[in-house]
Structure 1
Amino acid sequence: MNTIATTATATPSTQNPKQAQQKQTAKEAIAANVQALIEQLEQGHSEALTAYLTAMGRFRTYSFGNILEIVRQKPDAQRVAGLYAWNQLGRRVKKGERGIRILAPVIGVRRKKDGEAEKDIRTQNEAVLVGFRSAYIFDVSQTEGKELPELSERVTGSVGEYRERLVDFILAQGIELEFKESIAPALGVSYGGKIVMLPGQSPAEEFSTLVHEASHELLHRSERRIATTKTVRETEAEAIAFVVGKAIGLNTGRAAADYIHLYFGNAALLTESLEVIQKTSALILAALESPAAEASAETEPELAQAS
């Protein structure tokens, strides 16, 4: 999670039971949210999972667990920030609005022994995770004030420069890219170190296929291929294509895809799949950002607890 954390003076050796319990809270929150997803999946509904996948693209700088928290509490959230960040943007949280609770890390300092510190003054102290604290953020719909500028990287129905950036990212991973008619009717095929694409696709379709096949290359050419079924691998790749496509503004026709295939009565598998989808989507989206976009992109700000 890309948060500016509050600094604590506690050290691991002096961590009390309450702090230990706070560290566990993050795992417990994830488990509870995944269980809520499972209950809906068991009823034959995948809308909540689709909403979560959409949120991955909107909030890629947030952690896996906190994206789950945002979607659970406010599924329609579009753009979130803490009180201080909204104030800096010239907006105020509306009276009576309830914040979205997430977990922010509390960073402590491990102080080295005098003898060790003297060897290298640059490493006298080491930042360590002490635990987590509750923090509150608000969606743009809960605020009022100055109009926000549209993010320059957002597009609608067109991939723009994203196609070239995606190709550059794929090649940078050491993956070859070819176009061949012979793979028809397949739109794309991943061969492990090489992606072959069917030429003549529309820009949006080609982009989505490229993300799908790149996801296979990044995720499924290792021991994970043996540990998962073909259905799960294909669904993960399709989910990543959905997340990335939605994030850049494509009008994807796959919004109603049946992501229920990620779950076959196995909560651990669902949790693992969602986490790899989130991390891989964030990796690809980061590569798609231009230098200008990176400089102005929203990051998870220092969070102020709502009163």
Structure 2
Amino acid sequence: MNTTAAAVNKSTANTNTNKQQTAKEVIAANVQALIEQLEQGHSEALTAYLTAMGRFHTYSFGNILEIARQKPDATRVAGLYAWNQLGRKVKKGERGIRILAPMIGICRKEDEEAEKDIRTQNQAVLVGFRAAYVFDVSQTEGAELPEFSERVSGSAGEFRDRLVDFVIAQGIALEFKESIAPALGMSYGGKIALLPGQSSAEEFSTLVHELAHEMLHKADRRTATTKTVRETEAEAVAFVVGKTIGLETGRASASYIQLYHGNASLLTESLEVIQKTSAVILTAIESHAAEPAEELEPELAQAS
């Protein structure tokens, strides 16, 4: 075992001897830290979180916050074993990024009850979380890695067509209308209108923005939030998705913490729905899947 792995195992053991943090506690601590940074004028902190949402959209909300807080410039993370399998080693002295990993236990039923249905004799259940450590690619050395997926610069490329397919698959009508000017896009609940003549990057960003409204701002959430909050959430989703596929975008509202007046619970809910919505859209356009998306709920995401 190399010295880095030994250090990680020792750190993990020390962490597990202390009071284990729940995913909810970790999220609350990270959101509070974000609030403090923004109140001190460090608006780049939120931009780092939004960027991480796109880079690590297969991770849970809580672990995205952990990665962004500990290493804001991380681009690709994995554990020691995964890097070794890819022909890379963690550099000596590098410090791991702590995330939460689920601990799965077996729920054993009484013999009499188990005999009624053999399929439920031993059920896997979530019993808690433990500290686990991942490393960014910049902390490793070794074999060159292939790119995750194609990247674009200033043009949405085929991601634009994939996004349109996904919109239509959700049962949302899409049309182009000159009459909505000066607005670039409009969401009508089941229908999106775009202003013709936009650049590739701008049209893609606008469509993601309006799609976010369709996915997020209906029914209860629409009446429970202000128009400013809804617009900011949609813009944040457009930033996360656009930046992830390689678009140059500077329209993220990096100071929107002010909308919540330091209210951690409201900020947490907002960041969660931004992350979940961005993840659904990115998964669809990266895999070219066009199945209808599940209804989004602002429930706490489980740790990856």
| Sequence identity percentage | 82
1:2-151 paired onto structure 2 within 5 Å? 22=20, 24-151=21-148
Range 248-257 or range 86-95, more displaced:
248-257
Which residue identity does 1:242 align to in structure 2? F
Q: 1:50·1:259 contact (CA, 8 Å) conserved in 2?
A: no
Which residue identity does 1:109 align to in structure 2? I
Equivalent residue, structure 2, for 1:190: 187
Distance 2:91 2:142 in 1: 10
Aligned residues: 275
Calculate the TM-score normalised by the size of structure 2. Answer: 0.85
How far the C-alpha of 1:283 sits from its partner, in A, is 0.4
Deviations 1:226-264 (A, max 9, x none): 111111110000000000001111111325654334432
Distance 1:42 1:261 in 2: 8
Which residue identity does 2:70 align to in structure 1? Q
Equivalent residue, structure 1, for 2:154: 157
- SS of the aligned residue for 1:106 comes to strand
Equivalent residue, structure 1, for 2:4: none
- Structure with the larger RCO, 1 or 2 (CA within 8 Å, 6+ apart): 1
Q: 1:193·1:217 contact (CA, 8 Å) conserved in 2?
A: yes
Calculate the TM-score normalised by the size of structure 1. Answer: 0.85
Distance 1:226 1:146 in 2: 52
Residue in structure 2 matching 1:276, options 264, 267, 273: 273
Which residue identity does 2:161 align to in structure 1? E
Q: 1:239·1:277 contact (CA, 8 Å) conserved in 2?
A: yes
Distance 1:191 1:242 in 2: 21
Range 248-257 or range 198-207, more displaced:
248-257
Equivalent residue, structure 1, for 2:177: 180
How far the C-alpha of 1:40 sits from its partner, in A, is 1.6
Deviations 1:56-81 (A, max 9, x none): 00001111111111111111111100
Equivalent residue, structure 1, for 2:10: none
Q: 2:184·2:206 contact (CA, 8 Å) conserved in 1?
A: yes
Distance 1:262 1:25 in 2: 27
Would you say 1:209 and 2:179 are equivalent positions? no
Distance 1:180 1:223 in 2: 29
Which residue identity does 1:129 align to in structure 2? L
How far the C-alpha of 1:171 sits from its partner, in A, is 1.3
Equivalent residue, structure 1, for 2:294: none
Distance 2:257 2:264 in 1: 12
- SS of the aligned residue for 2:115 comes to helix
Range 79-88 or range 40-49, more displaced:
40-49
Which residue identity does 2:145 align to in structure 1? L
Distance 1:40 1:290 in 2: 36
Unaligned runs of 5+ in 1: 1-17, 293-302
